[in-house]
Amino acid sequence: MVAAQAGLGLDAVEWSLAERAQLPAGKPPAARIAEYFVPAVRDGPKGRFKLNMMEGNWCAAGASFAAMQAAGTEDLESAGIPHAYRVSGQELEDDAVKAGAWLPVAAVLEGSRPNVGDLAIYNRGSAQDWTRHVGRVVEVREDGYTSIDANGAGAAWALSEKLWTQASLRGFIRYPVSAGVGLGKLVVYGAGAVLLAYGVSRLWRRR
């Protein structure tokens, strides 16, 4: 069992698990997936612009949507999150590198570990391809971790078990953490469950 500090990553985990729980088999309808894409941005020669996408592979979009629920704003970077609202795992990784928040797999294999709430980035295909897959760490164990993946198995919000030595793992995006808020906010993760000792219930804004 791992006790984790409070932070936006943990709030995004809570939201993601709640989203999964309310959907049949964790699978959102097309209209809900479209919502995940609406705030997405990309950086171009003339600056940042809205992509205006409505569909596609939604692992990065789902992770960004969860981060938006935690941060309370589409401007994730203004809330201290080390990436913008992206629909591309490569762009998430690039943002994290620029922000100094990237934990590469080489460091993980040497013993460094992500926090619960951090994003995991994987190759989708060969390491030279631009495509990526994205998940969010829910539990950290000695041999690996559990993640909640948007557009995971079954094209759904899915929990998956991973090893630190997984060949496709590229690294993790570290989210900011804090010692706690209010009534000593502490989140405890174990046995695949999330036990939230907030002292008060939280009502998430639905979009």
| Two structure tokens written together for 77 | 């970077």
- In the chain, the largest separation of any two C-alpha atoms, in whole Å, equals 48
Query: Which residue, among 55, 35, 51, 173, has the nearest Cα to 103 in the 3D structure?
Result: 173
In this predicted model, what pLDDT tens digit does every residue of 147-157 receive, in sequence order? Answer: 999 999 999 99
Where would I find the H helices in the chain? 8-22, 30-37, 59-71, 89-99, 105-109
Q: What is the mean pLDDT of residues 68-88?
A: 97
- Report the number of distinct structural domains present in the chain: 1
pLDDT at 204: 30
Q: Establish if 50 belongs to a structural domain.
A: yes
Q: How far apart are the first and last CA of the chain?
A: 33
Q: Establish if 100 belongs to a structural domain.
A: yes
Q: Establish if 202 belongs to a structural domain.
A: no
Query: Which residue range(s) make up the domain with 133?
Result: 2-197
pLDDT at 75: 97
Q: Establish if 71 belongs to a structural domain.
A: yes
Q: Establish if 207 belongs to a structural domain.
A: no
- pLDDT at residue 142 is higher than 90: yes
197 confidence band (pLDDT: 50, 70, 90): very low
Q: Establish if 43 belongs to a structural domain.
A: yes
pLDDT at 131: 76
Q: Establish if 206 belongs to a structural domain.
A: no
Q: How far apart are CA 48 and CA 101, in angstroms?
A: 21
Q: What is the mean pLDDT of residues 183-204?
A: 31
pLDDT at 193: 32
- pLDDT at residue 93 is higher than 60: yes
Q: What percent of the chain has pLDDT over 70?
A: 80
Q: Establish if 186 belongs to a structural domain.
A: yes
Q: How far apart are CA 74 and CA 206, in angstroms?
A: 14
